[in-house]
């Protein structure tokens, strides 16, 4: 004899639902030296304009280090742990974009 279990479905509030399905504003800012863009600022335009959460995390780490008094070079060195995922996210965004990836022409 088998039994059927029916799960209760609860409605998610809009802010949680947006985060679950994607579409929440991750904080990309193309006007602010391409903040969140995969690639070095606005240079290397041949990469295209792909914005990813991982590139945004790397950019935030660099800016946090700069705000903390690091030199430009050291700010980037201290953000190196976030660089591999940012690089990998470029390929994902270019060939198989996720819900929080953004491409601008």
pLDDT at 8: 72
**pLDDT greater than 80 at residue 17:** no
Read off the tokens for 57: 């995390």
Kindly state the percentage of the chain with pLDDT values over 90.
59
Please enumerate in sequence order all residues whose Cβ is within 8 A of that of 94, keeping only pairs 6 or more positions apart, or say none: 48, 50, 103
Rounded to whole angstroms, how far apart are CA atoms 40 and 25?
21
pLDDT at 45: 85
Please enumerate in sequence order all residues whose Cβ is within 8 A of that of 65, keeping only pairs 6 or more positions apart, or say none: 74, 75, 76, 78, 79
- In this predicted model, what pLDDT tens digit does every residue of 57-82 receive, in sequence order? 999 999 999 999 999 999 999 999 99
Average pLDDT for the chain: 87
Please enumerate in sequence order all residues whose Cβ is within 8 A of that of 2, keeping only pairs 6 or more positions apart, or say none: none
């Amino acid at each position: 004899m088998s039994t059927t279990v029916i799960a209760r479905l609860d409605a998610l509030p809009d802010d949680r639902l947006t985060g679950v399905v994607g579409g929440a504003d991750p904080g990309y800012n193309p006007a602010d030296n391409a903040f969140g863009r995969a690639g070095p600022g606005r240079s290397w335009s041949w990469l295209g304009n792909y914005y990813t959460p991982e590139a945004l995390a790397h950019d935030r780490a660099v800016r946090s280090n700069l705000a903390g008094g690091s030199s430009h070079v050291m700010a980037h060195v201290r953000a190196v742990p976030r660089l591999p995922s940012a690089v990998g996210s470029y390929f994902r965004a270019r060939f198989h974009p996720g819900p929080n990836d953004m491409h601008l022409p």
